[in-house]
Amino acid sequence: MNTQSENHGRAYDVVIVGSGPSGAAYARILHEEAPQFRVLMVEAGPLLSEQPGVHVKNLTDPQARGAAQLASQGPVTSLSPASPTPGPGRPGTFLLRPDGLAPFAGMPAAAMSSNVGGMGAHWTCACPRPGASERIAFLDDGTLDAALADAERLLAVTSEAFVDAPFAEDVRRRLEDEFHRTGSAAIQPMPLAVQKHPDGTIMWSGTDVVLGPLAEPATPGDSFELRDQTLCQRVTLDAGRVTGVELKDLATGAVTMVRAPAVVVAADALRTPQLLFASGVRPRALGRYLNDQPQVISAVRLPADVVEDGVHVAAAGTASHSGVSWVPYTDEEPVHGQVMQLDASPLPLAEDDHVVPGSVIGLGWFCATETVEENRVEFDENLMDHYGMPRMAIQYNLTWKDLRVIEEAKEAVTRAGKALGTFLDGRPPFLLPAGSSLHYQGSVRMGQHDDGRSVCGPDSQVWGTEGLYVAGNGVIPTSTACNPTLTSVALAVLGARSLARSIQ
């Protein structure tokens, strides 16, 4: 991999904007299918470690991990009302902008990361396959399933890493007894993008895993280059065809034009439509159909007798990590349950109350919502954000059907909590602020036909714009409740293969 800038101004076959899981999947598939292609990947954020795209949980030094998370939180400047602010939720993210300083209706917790690896450096690594109506109906099952399998390969997905975790079997049994799930909808270990080595070491998959050999040090004649702290300001076009990109080096301020017949914009579900808008590519559906996954959460503690029995079992075995279980989505119950065993309580406990790892259970139910055209991210070309790009404003509201699903999720979490043990506090399961999921979808949605309700076709190429592809969670057109990364990487696999064929 070449991370130097000596090739500024040269022509490339493909430019990839964004270094998250989907952008990395494009780079990897292009390398596998057309290794002769010259590919440039640009990322507005910085490298977090010597190995590009490493998941921050793999940084064993707490100081290094904290520094990496801070570096991902954008160009924070308290003097500018357009500046982002660190989010109150997951470390390594920043809110779109401070409350009250710009139009921001309906999604107060909308956040993003800015770093090499994107959200792939900070995510939970949950990779469930979509089920029932979460699947994209106009992609035949064989095509979609093959792409999902490829995505699992790129992300190193397994359901076995924590299958023997303390209390995990008891957690799943209790949930099965309560919800009576069978077949593909049965309670099961969560598929995770993680590698467990023979010595028990756990490595969480960042985009370094997706990039594979492209994340290795550069070699002579390397055809892949990654530039960090490089903002793509616009995609250049001529008569509906991509000609290249305009890049700004954020360290020096220098602006460079780079020629390429194909550009993949994989800048996340908010910044991908922003870049298309800034480039004058503005189909009707751009930014519309924005879809969040409302998240209902709670936490419980396993009964003392279960914990005592589990401690004895754990002491006799080799398991050292807490488990994650999955309650799959169904059309009858349009929610997705992520059941995470925790090593510590998320709430303060008495000083002498020591939590046995894995005995506190975090319950997070994601809800599917209706896809509504009016839910959208808008852009103002007369006002600039912290990067000098058209400022965003989000309009987002829940429908009465969405509110009903949320109430059903609260009931399900209550049932799950009672089946598992004792709630940590007296508060019933509650809904997090809109945007907390970080699972934004639909803003550059895929469609079967160019009918004004989608931005790209089944190959992820933007309608009417030759050589321009979009990638990431924003491409997913269906209403989903499951974690979206696996699906977006699968769509990137299909898009990358189509792109490789188109310019060979």
Q: pLDDT tens digits, residue range 170-212? A: 999 999 999 999 999 999 999 999 999 888 889 999 999 999 9
Q: CA-to-CA distance for 491 and 354, rounded, in angstroms? A: 45
Phi, psi values for residue 309, rounded to 5°: -65, -40
Residues 41 and 152 in one domain: yes
391 assigned to some structural domain: no
Phi, psi values for residue 110, rounded to 5°: -60, 130
The per-residue pLDDT for range 343-394, each reduced to its tens digit, is 876 666 666 667 888 899 999 999 999 999 999 999 999 998 889 999 999 9
Exposure string of 81-90, with b = 16+ CB inside 10 Å and e = fewer, is: ebbbbbbebe
Residues 342 and 407 in one domain: yes
- Do the beta carbons of residue 287 and residue 379 sit within 8 Å? yes
Closest by Cα among 24, 156, 21, 142 to 488 = 21
Give pTM, 2 decimals: 0.94
439 labelled catalytic: yes
DSSP β-ladder status, 188-189 and 324-327: antiparallel
**CATH number of the CATH domain containing 55:** 3.50.50.60
451 assigned to some structural domain: yes
Q: CA-to-CA distance for 389 and 64, rounded, in angstroms? A: 30
Residues 48 and 98 in one domain: yes
The per-residue pLDDT for range 390-424, each reduced to its tens digit, is 999 999 999 999 999 999 999 999 999 999 999 99
Q: Given this model, what pLDDT does residue 343 score? A: 81
Among the options 354, 386, 439, 449, which is catalytic? 439
Residue 105 has pLDDT above 70, yes or no: no
The per-residue pLDDT for range 443-458, each reduced to its tens digit, is 999 999 999 999 999 9
Residues 284 and 300 in one domain: no
488 assigned to some structural domain: yes
216 assigned to some structural domain: yes
- Would you give the DSSP letter of residue 131? -
Residues 176 and 129 in one domain: no
Q: CA-to-CA distance for 455 and 449, rounded, in angstroms? A: 10
**CATH number of the CATH domain containing 315:** 3.30.410
198 assigned to some structural domain: no
Least confident of 41-50, 218-227, 269-278, 325-334: 218-227
Q: CA-to-CA distance for 123 and 438, rounded, in angstroms? A: 9
Show the DSSP H helices in 98-140 as ranges: none
Residues 233 and 354 in one domain: no
Residues 165 and 40 in one domain: no
Residues 382 and 464 in one domain: yes
- Give the mean model confidence (pLDDT) for residues 277-295: 97
The per-residue pLDDT for range 472-504, each reduced to its tens digit, is 999 999 999 999 999 999 999 999 999 999 986
Exposure string of 266-290, with b = 16+ CB inside 10 Å and e = fewer, is: bbbbbbbbbbbbbbebebebbbbbb
Distance of CA 438 to the CA centre of its chain: 7
DSSP β-ladder status, 14-17 and 202-204: unpaired
Residues 17 and 70 in one domain: yes
- Would you give the DSSP letter of residue 79? T
Residue 76 has pLDDT above 90, yes or no: no
Q: pLDDT band at 425, cuts 50/70/90?
A: confident
Domain that residue 233 falls in:
1-156+205-291+373-386+440-504
Residues 170 and 215 in one domain: no
166 assigned to some structural domain: yes
Q: pLDDT band at 101, cuts 50/70/90?
A: very low
Q: Given this model, what pLDDT does residue 99 score? A: 42
Q: CA-to-CA distance for 491 and 496, rounded, in angstroms? A: 9
199 assigned to some structural domain: no
Residues 6+ apart with CB under 8 A from 229: 43, 44, 45, 46, 249, 250, 251
- Do the beta carbons of residue 356 and residue 344 sit within 8 Å? no
Q: Given this model, what pLDDT does residue 221 score? A: 65
Residues 258 and 298 in one domain: no
Q: Given this model, what pLDDT does residue 106 score? A: 80
Residues 183 and 275 in one domain: no
197 assigned to some structural domain: no
Query: How many structural domains does the chain have?
Result: 2
**Collapsing DSSP states into helix, strand and coil, what is residue 317?**
coil
Q: Given this model, what pLDDT does residue 7 score? A: 43
Q: Given this model, what pLDDT does residue 426 score? A: 80
Q: Given this model, what pLDDT does residue 352 score? A: 65
Starting at the edge strand found earlier in the chain, the sheet holding 111-112 runs: 85-86, 94-95, 111-112
